[in-house]
Structure 1
Amino acid sequence: MDTSFVLLIGAIAGAIGGWITSGMLKSISLGKAADTIVGLLGGVVVSYSLHTTLANLAGSDSSVSLGATVSQIVAALVGGGILTVICALLKDLLSPKSMS
């Protein structure tokens, strides 16, 4: 798969993953826009990492297979959701009201 295709899939799926996570965990949300942006970043990082480290699973050859695309989408969804939760928990942990 082409790297730009991987990054596009990661960005879209990660943004969706961050948005879904913020809807499910309203108590630790950063806000819809921030959750989507953080999810986008998480999805790009995870899908690119999958593409470079696990080349056979991610379908790094020139052809685009359904299994490779699905693995990229799932990885980006999960990565976007996990980074959103981590950032929201860090925000809550470092907020002034939690320090007192």
Structure 2
Amino acid sequence: MIVIAHVYKRAHVKIAGMRSVLRVVRAEADKRAHRARVQAAQHTRTGTFLDSIRVRRYKKGYAVQFEDRQAALKNFGHINRDTGEWVDGVGAVEAALRQ
């Protein structure tokens, strides 16, 4: 039998924690957060949603977070409580997910 490669157990954990990998992951998270902010800025009224978009560091990576408590309503749309009319969402999450 010829062994071409050996995959070590938990190799993914070691690789995820490498500084060079974390730099690349951070850069990608920053790029996606920027896309979300650009989309949110086009539809802002108070700036709360836009200001809530953050890149958060975790043990093995980064995530784009929307910290506004009403982020889902603002992103996906909602019914205006005063008029009963539908308010379109801003689509910032979708913008962050686009390639």
Is TM-score (shorter-chain normalized) higher than 0.5? no
Q: Which has the higher contact order (CA 8 A, sep 6+)?
A: 1
Tell me which structure has the larger Cα radius of gyration. 2
- Bigger fraction of residues in strand: 2
Q: TM-score, normalised by structure 2?
A: 0.35
Q: TM-score, normalised by structure 1?
A: 0.35
- Bigger fraction of residues in helix: 1
